[in-house]
Amino acid sequence: MTWFCPWGHKREVDVMEHFNPLLLHNDSPAKFITIGEVMLRLTPPNYEKIRMASNFEASYGGSEANIALALANLGVDSTFFSVVPNNSLGKSAVRWLRSNDVHCTPMILSTPEETPTHRLGTYYLETGYGIRPSKVTYDRKHSAFTEYDLSKVDLDALLDGFDWLHLSGITPALGQNCADFVMACLKKAKEKGLTVSFDGNFRSTLWTWEEARDYCTKCLPYVDVLFGIEPYHLWKDDADHAQGDWKDGVPLQPSYEQQDEIFQRFVERYPNIKCIARHVRYAHSGSENSLKAFMWYEDHTFESKLFTFNILDRVGGGDAFASGLIYAMLHNYKPMDMVNFAVASSAIKHTIHGDANITDDVESIRNLMNMNYDIKR
């Protein structure tokens, strides 16, 4: 049928199709999906420590959810898949995503029979201040996402119609069920021709360094866009690991030449990778940091500007970097603009409370990217 929206635009739609007017002028036709666990975040107010707190501020987050939300706020057609318990907490997490224009149609609200513990994963955040760093305490074991039998999910149907899939190394760290699911998603996405991005996102409280490296290395043949250079094996000789890893001895804050060599080694080993990006953090204190990034793209390594800023909330900075780069790639930015937009997205997230980069004005990020701090009038 032909439908006329209230402000006069004609649109051909199926009778029961829902339409988001915020996507009307979206200049990127690509459809994005990401998969992971959404969690409840509890934070003591006013930079308090948990042992001093008498109340907590509640919000929601999770690496993949943060990226879906950031892209949706920037106008990308963005979908999130997860499993949450069919109770008030699970429904509230879905409402949070939907209120930020994330499509949640494939999400599963599980029954107590499907997920016996029937709980939403939770984490507690002590926000750092000055010389005191932030601290995260997880309470996510036996969450609905980890207890649900993910082998029942029809991946062909789940990924049908999408152009880009993003996954991270957090989900497989939650258990074998989740690890098998992520690997199946990677294989199905490549079979269906989706662009796949992957962020290793190591969490030491979920698995060991070697476990993470072993698993995430197996993901690399299916990845088009890679975030970070760890946790992955990049052996100098696959037959003799005693010769070491190409990344051995490379500092956390490498020179351009050091980073360029590592990127080259990755793409020599995995020619399927079209882009590698990593951000580099300089922590002057718990409340003042600097960021820059390196990106390999189209046979060249690019180095971004250095951004220095005060921190309101550091959580989700890496996710904002990833979402910024994905947005820039979807919109065909020039390579230097891609990497600078990604770092600017991360920098601006540090000024926003909560896990996600809730910024719906692309120009504000572009202004920061260009070091323009004037008031927008």
pLDDT value at position 13?
47
DSSP of 292-303? EEEEEETTEEEE
Q: 85 in a domain, yes or no?
A: yes
pLDDT of residue 25: 60
Q: From CA 51, how far away is CA 38, in angstroms rounded?
A: 25
* Res 373: pLDDT: 63
**Residue 1 is assigned to a structural domain of this protein:** no
Residue 11 falls inside a structural domain: no
Say what the pLDDT of residue 343 is: 97
What predicted TM-score, i.e. pTM, was given to this entire model? 0.90
Name the DSSP class of 129. B
The pLDDT value given to residue 22: 62
**pLDDT at site 27:** 62
Read off the pLDDT of residues 288-325 as tens digits, 9 standing for 90 and up.
899 999 999 999 999 999 999 988 888 888 999 999 99
Counting Cα atoms < 13 Å in the Cβ hemisphere of 30 gives 20
Residue 146 lies in a domain: yes
DSSP 244-270: -BTTTT--SS--HHHHHHHHHHHHHH-
User: Residue 309 in contact with residue 351, Cβ under 8 Å?
Assistant: yes
Domain enclosing residue 120, as ranges: 27-366
Q: Is the residue at 115 inside a domain?
A: yes
pLDDT of residue 5: 44
Structure tokens at 197: 């991005």
CB-CB contact of 309 with 289 (8 Å) = yes
Q: What is the pLDDT of residues 162-208, one digit of tens each?
A: 999 999 999 999 999 999 999 999 999 999 999 999 999 999 999 99
The ranges of the chain with pLDDT < 50 are 1-11, 13, 15-16
Is 233 contained in some domain? yes
Domain membership flag for residue 210 = yes
Domain count, the chain: 1
* DSSP state letter for 200: -
Q: How many CA atoms lie within 13 A of 248 on its CB side?
A: 10
CATH code: domain of residue 155: 3.40.1190.20
Kindly state whether residue 5 falls inside one of the protein's structural domains: no
**Predicted local distance difference test score (pLDDT) of residue 18:** 55
DSSP strand pairing (225-227 vs 275-283): parallel
pLDDT score recorded for residue 11: 47
